[in-house]
Structure 1
Amino acid sequence: MTSPVTYTSTLSDSEPTEFILPDLVNDIHYPLRLNPRYYPISRASEKWLLTGTHLTESEITTFMGLRAGELAAACYPDADAFHLRVCSDFFNWLFNMDDWLDEFDVDSTWRMRECCISALRDPINSETEKLGVKMCKSYFSRFRLTSSSGCTERFIHTMDLFFIAVAKQADDRAKKRIPDLTSYITVRRDTSACKPCFVFIEYAAGIDLPDEVMSHPVMIATEEAANDFITWSNDIFSYNAEQSRHDTHNLVVVLMREQDLNLQGALDYSGWMCRGAIQRFEHNRAILPSWSRELDKQVAIYLQGLQDWMVGVLHWSFDSTRYFAKDGHTVKRDRIIRLLPKRPL
């Protein structure tokens, strides 16, 4: 990967009013696939979420614009109806949990972690009055019906990593601390929740990859490359909303500070890093070892799932109202964003 010499613009005294997104859509050439079963399943999953929570009218409007079912359909395009429904329920739960955790302090995050991990360990017998945990039990009790033991354990472990990393993020937020780039990348790979979402690739496909495959250094590097592209592109898309609420857990903010870049320079650098992640994904996919005919077939399915995730979440980001409100298709075409004013502290 060549050096991003054109992206080293330094901080300026003038405040920008807009910025240009990197052209990520043209940087990734994987075909977008959509599960044909998604429409009725998405509607049923939305109803499940709304029935299990007490959202306000404005929160319901925001939730309906999320289109998490469409994301599930793009990330798991070959899943049957039963498995796609569990995937959709998980996504709806995860996005709402992520929003709730944004408002939590460290202690509240740890308490939520304890309740959710307990529910995952024993979704039938664990007792709770927390709505989010009850919904966790709902989707996971169905997940366990067809999931392998290894897949189940990986999901619980990666969800635990998610909660631990979010607690770290909450601590940084409370102390107004901006991490260095290396530390940020490490924790962001877990706050993104990509790791448990990747477990759902196995679940949706009905495959069971052994630890010897999943722990292989090249497989880990391939997953990390996919995770990085998904996570860093998400940071680019969510930057505007996050900067307006003074949130510093974002790659663009970290780069502005560490590389002494202005906003556009940091965005361009972020785009360069995303392109590098695609190249790393392709490189590591090409050098994965062979295990056996059957395992190699399952590995190929898993790698296809990582690819579907990378391209699926990219296009969904413009279809959903989560990042660009109702302007996603215009933003996708023009890539110009007007900066939102910062909220009062």
Structure 2
Amino acid sequence: MGAPQLEVFSLPDTLCRWAWSRKLNPNYKKVKEESKAWLESFHAFPPKAQNAFNRCDFNLLASLAYPDASAEHLRTGCDLMNLFFVFDEYTDVCDAVEARKLADIVMDALRNPDLPRPQNESIVGEITRQFWLLARKTSVKSAQEVFIETFDTYTTSVVEQAEDRVTHHIRDVESYLKVRRDTIGAKPSFALLHLGSDLPEGFLLNPLVECISTLTIDLLIIGNDICSYNVEQARGDDAHNMVTIVMNSILVRRNV
């Protein structure tokens, strides 16, 4: 008998035919240093972890995502990307109960940025409070409301992810996309695109706008999950990843 054949899944280069050139916000270097110094002032991570965090350069991500934003709005974008990472890192190592506590802290800080945070609270609360205190100075009321609503949805979805992780639950493609469209954080990121603009009432609920938003989010999910799959599977935390979901779905269908 021959050795069992190894099954190989090929991950595509999703950007090989991408037609658009990337554009970097001209304020990148200046705003990066401001946001970087701001985040480091909280000492949210040990020095070694903070150094690894800095090499990821989430400020570059923001500067590519918001290439035409003013320096003030780019600062909001950079601070948001850094907040995302802190919240994700903290919730990645806790169960659903603790993730819910962190989510509640974050949302309370967003809704009450003028109030001091309680002593001995997770530092993510003060990071969120300062982020929003600065962001709302240069944003219109309607954009603030959309951001808070979508960020609430995001934090709730991260709690769902924590529950899945603890119970070792692997979703099917449809249910995975339902929660992943929120855990990826794209919706509050989109809200920053109109910080200074009062959009017509109902604009974001237009079916065409919703469709474009969903398709864009799905592209982000596919690209993100493919790029992060190897490191996630290496540390045994790949259940919330499209690659794992698809491979598992194929195996389930074959075994039925």
Q: Distance in 2 between matches of 1:55 and 1:160?
A: 24
Residue 234 of structure 2 is aligned to residue 244 of structure 1:
yes
* Match 2:156 to one of 164, 179, 182: 164
1:177 — aligned with what?
A: 169
Q: Highest relative contact order (Cα 8 Å, sep 6+), 1 or 2? A: 1
**What fraction of aligned residue pairs are identical, expressed as a percent?**
32
Work out whether residues 117 and 125 of structure 2, in 8 Å CA contact, stay in contact via their aligned partners in 1: no
Give per-residue Cα distances to partners, 1:280-337, cap 9 Å, x unaligned.
xxxxxxxxxxxxxxxxxxxxxxxxxxxxxxxxxxxxxxxxxxxxxxxxxxxxxxxxxx
* Match 1:222 to one of 200, 206, 212: 212
Residue 132 of structure 2 is aligned to residue 140 of structure 1:
yes
How far did residue 126 of structure 1 move?
A: 5.0
Unpaired runs of at least 5, structure 1: 1-11, 262-345
Amino acid at match of 2:106: C
Give per-residue Cα distances to partners, 1:110-130, cap 9 Å, x unaligned.
111111111111101152332
Q: Tell me the TM-score normalised to structure 1 length.
A: 0.68
Q: Distance in 2 between matches of 1:260 and 1:250?
A: 16
Query: Within 5 Å, which residues of 2 pair with 1:1-345?
Result: 14=6, 21-128=11-118, 129-203=121-195, 206-247=196-237, 248-260=239-251
Work out whether residues 44 and 86 of structure 2, in 8 Å CA contact, stay in contact via their aligned partners in 1: no
> How many residue pairs get matched?
246
Q: Distance in 2 between matches of 1:180 and 1:208?
A: 38
Q: Tell me the TM-score normalised to structure 2 length.
A: 0.91
Q: Distance in 2 between matches of 1:141 and 1:162?
A: 20
Work out whether residues 235 and 252 of structure 1, in 8 Å CA contact, stay in contact via their aligned partners in 2: yes
Unpaired runs of at least 5, structure 2: none
How far did residue 183 of structure 1 move?
A: 0.4
How far did residue 93 of structure 1 move?
A: 1.6
Q: Distance in 2 between matches of 1:189 and 1:214?
A: 16
Work out whether residues 118 and 126 of structure 1, in 8 Å CA contact, stay in contact via their aligned partners in 2: no
Give per-residue Cα distances to partners, 1:210-260, cap 9 Å, x unaligned.
341101111111100001101111000000011112221111111111123
Give per-residue Cα distances to partners, 1:117-174, cap 9 Å, x unaligned.
1111110115233211101111101111121222111111111111111111111111
Question: Hey, which bits of structure 1, 4+ residues long, moved more than 2 A?
Answer: 12-16, 126-130
Work out whether residues 150 and 210 of structure 1, in 8 Å CA contact, stay in contact via their aligned partners in 2: no
Give per-residue Cα distances to partners, 1:194-220, cap 9 Å, x unaligned.
1001111112xx222234110111111
The RMSD of aligned alpha carbons is 1.7
Amino acid at match of 1:124: D
